[in-house]
A and B are shown apart, each in its own frame.
Chain A
Amino acid sequence: MEAKDLSKTYGDVNALNDVSFSVKRNEVFGLLGSNGAGKTTALKIFSGLIRPSQGQAYVLGTRVVGNELKVKANIGYLPETPNLYETMTGEELLDLVATLRGMDEESKNKRIDYLAKVLEIEDAMDHQIGTYSKGMRQKIAFALAVIHRPKVLLLDEPTAGLDPRFAKFFKSWIRDFGKTGTTVLMSTHLTLIAEEICDRVAIINSGSIMDIGTVDELKKKYSVGTLEDVFVKVVGGSDWRDLLPSSL
């Protein structure tokens, strides 16, 4: 994947400002930034949901703008807040997406059963999504993104809402994607997550890329021990103790 001088403006707000980076094949690449930094906007451009105001995005060598259908066929997208059809059952929604992605009946049913089992939502598959907890919705949304074994995964805050057990499971699953031929571009505001699973990280702030590198490269460059300290130094914040008010 490649972003070339990507910019996105919403009225007076510059969500993205001349952003350029590339993601290698089979790499797990993290976009690390605080809320409102532009991570979700970047992912949406790569997924073809929105068009950049300037610049271009490429997925598997194909320009996204103008080739949305071709790009969407090869990607899986997990949004930050997966709003789902409340009146459909989990199985219906997975069946819908799998069919729309051209999966044949047999492989589709096998895949749905497998994902339901692995994600431990078998009992809920016949219930309407409106009855699901936040964690279950995240699991269904994750299943939607991976049901067709995409070549590229776009994950926006993938561990949000999950219990610690499944958060750990997701992290190892994402790490394994890279090894099994899937390129992953994920966004997170949690430095621990990025440190644990990303091959390379881009620190993004106020719509601009501040720095890019492997976690070790960044730690060495800024002479700090953790990615969290790298982030604070790069983004330009004070020591966290100085941020606390004298009384809460």
Chain B
Amino acid sequence: MSGWFILLAFVTAWACLVLASTISQDPQLRNSDLTIRPETFILFIFLILTGKSIIDTLHKAIESKELITIMAQPVSAQKVALGKFMGILLSNLTIVAFGLGLMASIQLGSFWLRPDNPLSITGEMPDGSGSLWVNGYGITHLQILAVIIMVFLASSMGFTYSILNSLDLKRRLVGLLLYSQLVTAIFVVMRWNENLASGSVQRITPVQETLALLGIMFLASAGLYPTIRYLYFEVWTKETSGKKAMWFQKRSWGGLRWLERPFSPIMARLIKKELIINVQKKEILGNIIAIIGLSALLIWGWQRIADLKDIPARAQQVAYPAIISVGIYLAAILQCGFIGLGSIGKEGRKFWVLKSLPVPPKSVFMAKAWAILALSPITVLGVALPLPFILNYSLVWKLFFVLMTLAIIMTFTGLGLIMGASYPNFNESTGGMPDVMTMYLLMILCLGFGGGMFVFAGYTLARDMLMGMLATTVCLELGFIIMLVGINGGAFLYSRIEPRTA
């Protein structure tokens, strides 16, 4: 697995560099209004690491029952929380350092291998202008400092947000409202120079930008301290003490008995069990929020491209469907692929319950697949539909995106399930998710399958409507087959897994 990861990391880093280099060296794009500034890239790092920090905090610091051993020692809860925070911060710094180092090493390698035409990221452009970022912006020391500050900000804000999100509703809303001001401030600072409509408002210099970020970091730290000091222990105690049953779990409500209409009693119970476990997990809610954010991001991306005046027409034709496809990919990975990936691991030490029962493994996996599919309409509505309606696509193209979303959902579900059964991780502190290498491998696999399906069906539809719908149907069937393979393969692997603890 380590070999796969290293290979995939290099391939992905190389692909990103080639893409960035191509864009930056294309004369038409360079002369257009497209401004992919370093600030956008840094903001992207901030968003991803904040999401990662939220989930890490939830699993390792809040819901971790293993911490009771530490809490029983003469160590203050604040020190425990600080230790957990430092662990999350260090892991984020390591990831960013690894990523930047990899890209830098590949770029240096390209100078050695192709001295006449290297991947020009920080080198001089043919016309004498800047580097990766068009319009002459280079990566400066201050921007590298901004990356480090962003890692600190993402870690502290993610940590704080996760704790605030576990409080009672009143305090949760107040805390989130206060913290959202910091997020807004970050966006304003990082997007200030890009959003200037006229010369009446002054641009901020890189030094001013860095100082503003440092100020926000100071404020974020000021929020982190009371969270650790006064709120962490309360939240940890509450989260590890168990909760009252949700309304649909009570006998008086029938407990999701409507599932027995389309399914057998056994399958209905298995699906219900999966839904209860999944819905209570905050990752599902987090994923829904991420999907809504993703839709907003797609609409923003559409707006940015719409503002371009000189972008080639052919690029415009591809750009919008590509944006929608990328959005569907990301949403389906979160909602289907990753959940399938953790489907066995999240059983943790409860694995013995189903394994000791006379339930065919295939039934177990069909229930897991059905539970994932039950939540997928959120993906369809949230990501696939807004842009096609805003862009006033024809009915055929709207139908295309809906059907392709279903195909992608089934494909990613199947791939996630079989990989989750191949590499189960019963460590409950990670929420059952396999290591980052396995997640990365799944992302690449899904990208290959999903990308291939979109290009095949989309290209065919662009040339001929009837053939295009046929191609879309083929993709739908292929997605169904992949899901079946995932279910059956996962069931086979599941039957071979031996629970080490019960």
Name A residues whose Cβ lies closer than 8 Å to a Cβ of B. Answer: 40, 44, 47-51, 68-70, 72-73, 77, 79-89, 91-93, 95-97, 99-102, 105, 126-132, 144, 156
Contacts and interface: CB of A to CB of B under 8 A. Distances in A.
B261 interface: no
Contacts of B348: 83
Contacts, number: 112
Given A84-B353, A88-B249, A128 B242 contact: yes
B350 A100 contact: no
Contacts of B280: 87
A128 B255 CA distance: 13
A102 B250 CA distance: 22
B357 A83 contact: no
Contacts of A131: 241-244
A100 B269 contact: yes
A96 B269 contact: yes
B487 interface: no
Interface size class, chain B: 20 to 34
A100 B255 contact: no
B156 to A, nearest CB: 29
A80 B270 CA distance: 24
A117 B245 CA distance: 20
Nearest to A84: B350
B502 interface: yes
Nearest to A79: B502
A83 B350 contact: yes
A35 B287 CA distance: 44
A244 to B, nearest CB: 26
A72 B350 contact: no
B343 to A, nearest CB: 14
A87 B274 CA distance: 11
A120 B404 CA distance: 53
Contact of A50 (B269, B357, B499): B499
A132 B273 contact: no
Given A85-B273, A91-B251, 5 more contacts: A72-B356, A85-B350, A126-B245, A127-B244, A128-B242
A51 B496 CA distance: 9
A62 to B, nearest CB: 12
Contacts of B255: 92, 95
A69 to B, nearest CB: 5
B358 A100 contact: yes
A49 B499 contact: yes
Contacts of A130: 241-243
A215 B498 CA distance: 34
A83 B501 contact: yes
A85 B277 contact: yes
A197 B280 CA distance: 42
B353 A50 contact: no
A101 B270 CA distance: 12
Nearest to A86: B242
B318 interface: no
B171 to A, nearest CB: 22
B144 interface: no
A70 B353 CA distance: 16
B352 interface: yes
Contacts of A88: 249, 273, 276-277
